[in-house]
Copies of this chain bind each other. A is one copy, B any other.
Amino acid sequence: MKPETRQQEIIRVAAKLFKEKGYSAVTMRDLATAMDIKAASLYNHINSKQDILESIIISIAEQFTEGMSSVRESNATCIEKLKEIIALHVEVSSTNIYGMAALNHDWMHLEARLNYYKKLRSDYENDFRNILIEGIKAGEISDIKPDVMMFSILTTLRSLYLWIPKKEDVNLQELSSNLNEILIKGVIK
């Protein structure tokens, strides 16, 4: 494991602040204070506040894209694929607790890479939807509107970053398995 560069440290601390107050409300002075240096010194390591946001969001979005690509090409049943997607979100969310907030809520402040981000997200959702449609055809999955199903599951998975850090002792494998139960089998006994 290479030691963290000063740039990576700035991006990591920035993500934490973005999660607390949102990108727009965090000033370069806030970030500098959190790093225990002056605002001007930040610019020796990063080009702009905007660049920090890009780094955070695009890096995570590409992790989801890669993960979905594995799921798409696997030979599993649709229910198995759903479980893989749940595991993917638990994995990426738990290793990017702070960055997930920016991904979910600050993507609209992207400038140069806004369209690239939007494409990654819509491709991801299309893959997800196709898995559900496939599952309905195969009789594995309830014949409910696939969009409502996708929305329901995906919003839960996208919000994991809010929840994981609250439970300090959270066991990720157990969380994954609880979510499999709830999202796939529902809560009724």
Q: How many copies does the complex hold?
A: 2
Q: Please report the total number of A residues contacting B with Cβ < 8 Å.
A: 45
Please report the C-alpha to C-alpha distance between residue A21 and residue B187 in the assembled complex, in whole angstroms: 35
A125-163 with Cβ < 8 A to chain B: 132, 139-145, 147-149, 151-153, 155-156, 158-159, 162-163
Query: A139 touching B25 by the CB < 8 A rule?
Result: no
Please report the C-alpha to C-alpha distance between residue A132 and residue B188 in the assembled complex, in whole angstroms: 11
Q: Which residues of B contact A139 (CB under 8 A)?
A: 189
Give the interface of A toward B (CB within 8 A).
20-25, 79, 82, 105-106, 108-109, 132, 139-145, 147-149, 151-153, 155-156, 158-159, 162-163, 167, 175, 178-179, 181-189
